């Protein structure tokens, strides 16, 4: 079974976020192209998560729910032992 990041998954991601108590909104961003670009936001109590699409938004919500311990310490979202994302690509920077 494979699931792919695609707009046909957006509605499901939005509904999951809403079931978890997050209010979802969008804001159309100014752009020089004819393509419409939106910023997606999820708000719950005094917390806000912002992303480029609902799939990213749901991922950030999950990171927030798993990692936030009540204090905005630097890099509060990191897990012990995290390796840099580019190491997964085999590249070095």
Q: What is the pLDDT of residue 40?
A: 98
- Residue (of 51, 49, 58, 46) closest to 3 by Cα position: 58
Please give the Cα distance from 86 to 91 (Å, whole number). Answer: 6
Considering the segment(s) 7-89 as one domain, its CATH architecture is 2-Layer Sandwich (3.30)
Parse the chain into domains and list their residue ranges: 7-89
Sign of the Cα pseudo-torsion (67, 70, 59, 1, in order): positive
Separation between Cα atoms, residue 47 and residue 59, nearest integer Å: 15
pTM: 0.86
pLDDT in tens, 12-48: 999 999 999 999 999 999 988 888 899 999 999 999 9
Q: Is 75 left (phi over 0), alpha (psi -120 to 50) or beta?
A: left
């Amino acid at each position: 079974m494979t699931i792919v990041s695609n707009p046909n998954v957006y509605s499901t991601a939005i509904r999951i976020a809403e079931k978890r108590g997050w209010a979802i909104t969008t804001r159309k961003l100014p752009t020089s192209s004819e393509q419409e670009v939106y910023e997606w936001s999820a708000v719950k109590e005094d917390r806000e998560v912002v992303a480029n699409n609902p799939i990213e938004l749901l991922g950030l919500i999950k990171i927030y729910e798993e990692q936030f311990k009540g204090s905005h310490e630097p890099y509060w979202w990191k897990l012990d032992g995290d390796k840099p994302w580019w190491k997964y690509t085999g590249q070095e920077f």
